[in-house]
Every structure is written in C-alpha cells, then in structure tokens.
Amino acid sequence: MRSSPPAASAPGPDPTAALADHLPALRIALLQQRRFRAEQLADLRAAMPADPAQEEVTETLRRAAGIALAGIDAALDRMDRGRYGACVHCGTPIPLERLEILPAVALCMTCQHAQDRP
C-alpha cells in the first residue's frame, strides 16, 4: 500500500508583519517607561541621603535607573532605524511575546542565556 506524501503545511504567521502591527503600542510602552525612568533618575539625583548607608542605596538606584534609561533609549533608536525586534547579537527575531513583556529587550533568549552564564 502506498502512502501519500505528507501534506504541505501552511506557512506560519510572518513575525515581521506581526511586529509591525504592534510597533505603535510597543513605542508607547517604551516612551512611558522612559518617562518613568527619567523622573526616577531626577528624583534620585535630588535626594540628599542622611547617612552613608542611604547614600550607597541611592547611588545603586541611580546607576540602575541610568542603565534602564540607556536600554530604553537604545530600543527606541533600534525602532527608529528599523532594527527593533531583532537580537543585537545574532540577528534572530525576538518573539513578540518577549517584546511585549520587556519592550527594551535587546537579546533573544539564546543570547541572553549565553550572556547570563558565568
């Protein structure tokens, strides 16, 4: 008995088209995050901690807010250059679900895991 050839599967959704549909919402999310981080950084720069321990905590928060703000600005720049949604290391498309959760993310999961390994 002959078996029939496997049916051709329909191509999956185009990740580029799906991303294009979501870019306006992702841009809004990034701009909201940017506004929050800029305000947070301004507040932290104006803070006058009373003791060395509070100063250390405040400085750590300043650095973290600055790093987050730089990541958001980099994501907005990638968006402006048409490179948003692709891993900056390997070029693989970053799944839309990941971008919706972390709009400023720059790496695919594979590259993120490789970077996080000691």
- 81-98 pLDDT tens trace: 999 999 999 999 999 999
For residue 65, what pLDDT is reported? 96
pLDDT grade, residue 16 (50/70/90)?
low
Q: Which CATH number fits the domain that encloses residue 75?
A: 1.20.120.910
Assess if residue 3 is contained within a domain.
no
Assess if residue 6 is contained within a domain.
no
Q: φ and ψ at 117, to 5 degrees?
A: -70, 140
What b/e string do you get for 31-54 counting C-beta neighbours within 10 Å, with b at 16 or more?
eebbeebeebbeebeeeeeeeeee
pLDDT grade, residue 18 (50/70/90)?
confident
Assess if residue 58 is contained within a domain.
yes
How many distinct structural domains can be found in the chain?
Answer: 1
Q: How far apart are CA 76 and CA 84, in angstroms?
A: 8
pLDDT grade, residue 12 (50/70/90)?
low
The model's pTM: 0.81
* Contacts for 1 with CB less than 8 Å, ≥ 6 apart: none
Provide the residue range defining the domain that includes 53: 15-116
Only one residue has tokens 């950084």, namely 41
Find out whether 79 and 110 touch, Cβ atoms under 8 Å.
no
In degrees, rounded to 5, the angle at the alpha carbon of residue 102 between the alpha carbons of residues 100 and 106 is 115
Assess if residue 84 is contained within a domain.
yes
Assess if residue 4 is contained within a domain.
no
The SS3 of residue 116 is: helix
Assess if residue 2 is contained within a domain.
no
Assess if residue 35 is contained within a domain.
yes
Q: What is the mean pLDDT of the chain?
A: 89
